[in-house]
Chain A
Amino acid sequence: MPIDSATPKSANADPVGVLETVLAVVLLPFVGAALTPVVYRALGERTAYYAAAVAAVCLGLVTQLYTTGAHGVASVEWVPSLGISLAFYVDGLALLISFLASGVGVLILTYSGGYMHGEPGQAKYYATLLAFMGSMLGVALAGDLFALFTFWELTSLSSFLLIGHYTSEADSQYAARKSMLVTVAGGLFMLVGFLLLSWAGDTTLIAGEGSLTANAGSTIETLRAAGLFVPTLLLVGVGAATKSAQVPFHVWLPNAMEAPTPVSAFLHSATMVKAGVYLVGRFRPFFLSGTTGGHGEGTAEAAGAASAAVAEAAAATVPEWTVVFATLGLATMTIAAVLAVGSTDIKELLAYSTASHLGLIVAAFGVANSYGGEAGAFHILNHASFKAALFLVAGIVAHEAGTRRIDRLRGLRHDLPVTAVIAGVASLSMAGVPPFNGFYSKELLFEATYEYAHEIGGLTWVLPVVAVLGSVFTFLYSIKFLSLFLGDRTEELGHVHSPPLSMLVPPALLAVVVGIVSVDPMIAVNALVGEVYGSTVPGDAHSFTVGLPTTLKPAVVMSAITIGVGALAWPQYDRIHGAVRTMLRGPVRADWWYDNGVEGLTALSKAVVPRVQTGLVRTYAAWVLTGASALAVGAYVAAGVRLPALALPEATTLAVGVVLAVAVVGAIAVTDAPSHVAGVLTLSILGFMVAVFYVLADAPDLALTQLTVETLVLVIFLLVLDRLPAWYGESDRLTVARDAVVAGAVGLTVAGTVLVSTAGSPDTIAGGLITRAGLPPGEHLGLFTGYGGGQNIVNVILVDLRAFDTMGEISVVAMAALSVLTLVRMRERGETQ
């Protein structure tokens, strides 16, 4: 079910041109970032405009992709031996996110020119911001699971640097670590999910021809057969939820306001958190491929079950996707909105509101009908436009009024008239008040939840109810933000400056976008959102229309309830605010869990490290060897490896038996050696007996090597031994028993490994090597490269056929020599320096 067929702009573009443009879009920000330090030396603070220009070029390239109607996969080989290609996929959703990242990027970087005036670390700031934008463009355009994951982690990395911009402040450090821990940990879950997907689908392409989405049916069947469908869904979901700050992983987002405000605005509107939402939208057609894409979708069986109105039956017909994401999204939408009402800081309020609106998008994508896709696709655009504007407004307020505390700010319209207008437009849009653009997408969410509940019945009626509840709180905090500009000035508010033009123009432009989409939402739908919607549905997409409602539909009633209840509750805002704050104590706060979890883990590592790393070689050896053995044995058990039957080879002679018996006696004697020197000498009996065994077994090369190495090791041992203490003291029985167990386990594992690996040697490899070690048949004239041309197969294998292995081995010898140099010579310097 190719998505292309439904979109008006199908694959009519030159694919080579598409690839080049996409590569330029993704790589340009990184190149720009690399050049930033040089540019900063020349331009100083005006580097902001250089960075904005880089973003503008990206925006231009994205526009070119859009106008040429590029659509589909463009790829270059990356790691061909692993089947990983650097594939990009261009469609409506990818273009929308790219437009947001590069477009908002231009505005943010311009705004930074004013905001970051006189701040430290500007070169680093602009470089990281550009890299951040590039990573987000990479996430949006990636068409391959592993390319997506790489860019995904790059956004985590660059946001870590940006959130921790004020490196010396404890709050910044805490916030940066928190965002890193939460998002990177989530990314690892997602990686496991990706591995399962690529295993089941036998491809790493996400969308397009031959991709996971195109073969969703068979891939999902494979996953279900292995019982891995729900785990995969949950793993990918954890990745999206941590990135998009869904409850309970929303903890990092409010702390991320420690970053400079332009970063917050960027992070909350167009990048980072949008990555999670993007992931949900991107995988929606895959996970929902069993259901159809039209209005009033759902099968006849589903309707029948609904009429029975039995909760279990209804839950059975709701796809897992909806259970997970609609629940997650609506819970986040409501909880984060409540938390926003409880905020005391304008950036904190906006941060929680971001989590809440992302919850809305996730919930919309979660609902398995076409309204859901429409609502999610449209709200990505709407949220980005009003939230970026509001954050930039918050930056102006904090910068010019010198405080971000909600209770200190009032009547700002007297000092900041233009900013007040922008804030008015954007916050009414956020509240979902008609005719602003936030209203349309929220209306679609109401429609989606209501229609879904109407169709399925049962427990799904919770969805529209929670959606309305969350929207009431959204209305409340939006009006609170707006009220900062209304009323009379408070006296404690000192002189408020006017913001510079570079800080005023970007939010104004965003407000204009909000205004345009508000006046005629169909402009946005026709231009891009329709296609975005097409990217998020399985099967063929239909066109959709939005506009002010003309008839009394259930969704209209829901909107009316939201605004009505919100308006009624508004006079009680302070009381609700107080109630939320008193409620947020102890384990109710997700922060409590995070802080205690991190503290607990820190304490655990502090308790474990002294036991594992005592500074004694014995302890290290015991842990490393036991660990390696446990891993090896565990892998054998997991893979179902069986020990081959033991049998004496036919060629065993009496001489071999005697030699090996002497070796065993030598080995046993080592344990009872009275001194180190005696021990080493006894041990070398074992070594030399092995060498003799090689001679008897017709392996002269091995024998030679064993002899020389044994001699050398003996000498080195003797050089070192007289520096070791002669007596380690009496060991207690427990230690002896433990050491015996470790030694026995390691010995058995090694013996087992030798048996298993020698029994499993495939003849094809040996045969191939034997053929290729000698000379090619026929006359030996000129140069030939396919054959070793030698009679000593051991040496030919070492230096010719398997030379790459030898290369590694001599590197190890060199590394060992280097480590000895380092350890011996730098011992005196140590950590005291």
Chain B
Amino acid sequence: MSDDAPAGDAGAVGAADADGSGARPSVDTQTTVIARTVVRVVVPIILVTAVGLLLQGHNRPGGGFIGAVLTVTAFVLVYVIFGREYLQGDLLGVEATDDGSHTVVEYYRLLFAGGLALAAGSGLAPLFVGLPFLTQGVLFVHHVPLYGEFELASAFAFDLGVYLAVVGGLLTILGEVGSE
């Protein structure tokens, strides 16, 4: 699936290019009750699924990138149905400033910066024990309550970095384009 990430990138870049002309969010205040109710129910499920995909990626379909894109889809649903102010103010608890919604983008930026740092940091760690950059290790722990044998993969830290970087990056793009 090494080509799925570029596909996502291409989508993101395409959006970035297209927004050069600016966009007025087509948030109708007149969304239907059905839509609102469905979204209310569906969004938590999507988020849980996304986290599940992130966690199970090592052994089953999923992984950081898919989880991230799914998470962003949940945000987009809230955004489209309830509007930007609800998403940022009520849901995320960020005060809107005078000039619009730029403050919340600062958090998104922290998210992708942190993701990149986590991924790069997890790659740097093996250097201290004399292994090449980005070497991942797998540790099997035995006699864990409930699980019995449990597999700890250092690749998860990297995957989490991927997740955070993609969520942060896509939300930044959406936030910027949406606030136009």
Interface size bracket, B side: 35 or more
> Is the beta-carbon distance between A704 and B62 smaller than 8 angstroms?
yes
Closest Cβ of chain A to B26, distance in Å, is: 6
By CB atoms of chain B within 10 A, which of A706, A724, A794, A825 has the most? A794
Q: Which B residues are in CB contact (< 8 Å) with A791?
A: 58-60
Closest Cβ of chain B to A122, distance in Å, is: 42
Contact residues, B141-180 vs A (CB, 8 A): 142, 149, 151, 153, 155-156, 158-159, 161-162, 165-166, 168-170, 172-174, 176-178, 180
Known contacts A795-B1, A809-B9, A816-B12; is-contact A823 B20 (Cβ 8 Å):
yes
Q: Which B residues are in CB contact (< 8 Å) with A796?
A: 58, 155
> Is the beta-carbon distance between B8 and A709 smaller than 8 angstroms?
yes
> Is the beta-carbon distance between A792 and B178 smaller than 8 angstroms?
no
> Is the beta-carbon distance between A712 and B139 smaller than 8 angstroms?
no
Contact residues, B45-74 vs A (CB, 8 A): 53, 57-66, 69-70, 72-73
Whether a CB of chain A sits under 8 angstroms from the CB of B32 is no
> Is the beta-carbon distance between B115 and A722 smaller than 8 angstroms?
no
Q: When chains A and B are docked, how far (Å) is the Cα of A783 from the Cα of B137?
A: 6
Q: Which B residues are in CB contact (< 8 Å) with A812?
A: 6, 9, 13
> Is the beta-carbon distance between B9 and A705 smaller than 8 angstroms?
no
Contact residues, B119-134 vs A (CB, 8 A): 119-120, 123, 126, 131, 133-134
Q: When chains A and B are docked, how far (Å) is the Cα of A705 from the Cα of B6?
A: 11
Closest Cβ of chain A to B175, distance in Å, is: 9
> Is the beta-carbon distance between B139 and A716 smaller than 8 angstroms?
no
- Residue of chain B at shortest CB distance from A819: B16
Whether a CB of chain B sits under 8 angstroms from the CB of A701 is yes
Q: When chains A and B are docked, how far (Å) is the Cα of A620 from the Cα of B108?
A: 31
Whether a CB of chain A sits under 8 angstroms from the CB of B17 is yes
Known: A713-B11, A716-B173. 19 other contacts (CB 8 A): A617-B20, A715-B73, A717-B18, A722-B23, A722-B26, A781-B142, A787-B138, A788-B155, A789-B138, A790-B155, A794-B61, A795-B57, A795-B62, A798-B2, A806-B5, A806-B158, A814-B112, A814-B165, A824-B176
> Is the beta-carbon distance between A807 and B136 smaller than 8 angstroms?
no
> Is the beta-carbon distance between A792 and B59 smaller than 8 angstroms?
yes
> Is the beta-carbon distance between A715 and B2 smaller than 8 angstroms?
no
> Is the beta-carbon distance between B116 and A705 smaller than 8 angstroms?
no
A–B complex contacts, Cβ < 8 Å, 12 sampled = A705-B1, A713-B14, A719-B174, A780-B149, A783-B138, A783-B139, A807-B134, A810-B169, A816-B173, A817-B12, A824-B180, A825-B102
The number of chain A residues with a CB under 8 A from chain B is 62
> Is the beta-carbon distance between A795 and B153 smaller than 8 angstroms?
no
Contact residues, B35-51 vs A (CB, 8 A): none
| Chain A binding surface, main DSSP class | helix
Whether a CB of chain A sits under 8 angstroms from the CB of B29 is no
Whether a CB of chain B sits under 8 angstroms from the CB of A631 is no
**A-B CB pair tally, cutoff 8 Å:** 244
Q: When chains A and B are docked, how far (Å) is the Cα of A811 from the Cα of B113?
A: 10
Give B78-118 as 1s and 0s: 1 = Cβ < 8 Å from A's Cβ atoms.
00100000000000000000000010010011001101100
> Is the beta-carbon distance between B69 and A712 smaller than 8 angstroms?
yes
Known contacts A796-B58, A816-B13; is-contact A811 B116 (Cβ 8 Å):
yes
> Is the beta-carbon distance between B169 and A813 smaller than 8 angstroms?
yes
- Residue of chain B at shortest CB distance from A791: B59
Closest 9 CB pairs of A and B: A789-B138, A794-B1, A705-B4, A817-B169, A813-B169, A716-B15, A700-B61, A708-B69, A817-B172
Whether a CB of chain B sits under 8 angstroms from the CB of A576 is no
Q: Which A residues are in CB contact (< 8 Å) with B7?
A: 705-706, 709
Q: When chains A and B are docked, how far (Å) is the Cα of A809 from the Cα of B13?
A: 12
- Residue of chain A at shortest CB distance from B63: A795
Contact residues of A with B, CB < 8 Å? Answer: 617, 699-702, 704-706, 708-709, 711-713, 715-724, 780-785, 787-792, 794-800, 802-807, 809-814, 816-817, 819-821, 823-825
Q: When chains A and B are docked, how far (Å) is the Cα of A617 from the Cα of B131?
A: 46
Closest Cβ of chain A to B77, distance in Å, is: 9
Closest Cβ of chain B to A55, distance in Å, is: 40
Known contacts A713-B14, A800-B155, A803-B134; is-contact A792 B62 (Cβ 8 Å):
yes
Closest Cβ of chain B to A789, distance in Å, is: 3
Q: When chains A and B are docked, how far (Å) is the Cα of A806 from the Cα of B119?
A: 10
> Is the beta-carbon distance between A792 and B60 smaller than 8 angstroms?
yes
Q: When chains A and B are docked, how far (Å) is the Cα of A76 from the Cα of B126?
A: 25
Q: When chains A and B are docked, how far (Å) is the Cα of A780 from the Cα of B70?
A: 34
Q: When chains A and B are docked, how far (Å) is the Cα of A122 from the Cα of B58?
A: 62
Closest Cβ of chain A to B137, distance in Å, is: 4
Q: When chains A and B are docked, how far (Å) is the Cα of A719 from the Cα of B26?
A: 6
Q: Which B residues are in CB contact (< 8 Å) with A785?
A: 126, 131, 135-138
Q: Which of A709, A715, A724, A792 is in CB contact (< 8 Å) with B58?
A: A792
Q: Which of A617, A718, A810, A821 is in CB contact (< 8 Å) with B162?
A: A810
Q: Which of A617, A715, A798, A814 is in CB contact (< 8 Å) with B5?
A: A798
> Is the beta-carbon distance between B15 and A717 smaller than 8 angstroms?
yes
Q: Which A residues are in CB contact (< 8 Å) with B6?
A: 809, 812
Closest Cβ of chain A to B114, distance in Å, is: 11
Q: Which B residues are in CB contact (< 8 Å) with A717?
A: 15, 18
Q: Which of A709, A809, A819 is in CB contact (< 8 Å) with B69?
A: A709
> Is the beta-carbon distance between B63 and A799 smaller than 8 angstroms?
yes
Q: Which B residues are in CB contact (< 8 Å) with A784?
A: 137-138
Q: Which of A706, A718, A719, A816 is in CB contact (< 8 Å) with B4?
A: A706
> Is the beta-carbon distance between A788 and B136 smaller than 8 angstroms?
yes
Whether a CB of chain A sits under 8 angstroms from the CB of B21 is yes
Known contacts A704-B61, A804-B134, A825-B176; is-contact A713 B15 (Cβ 8 Å):
yes
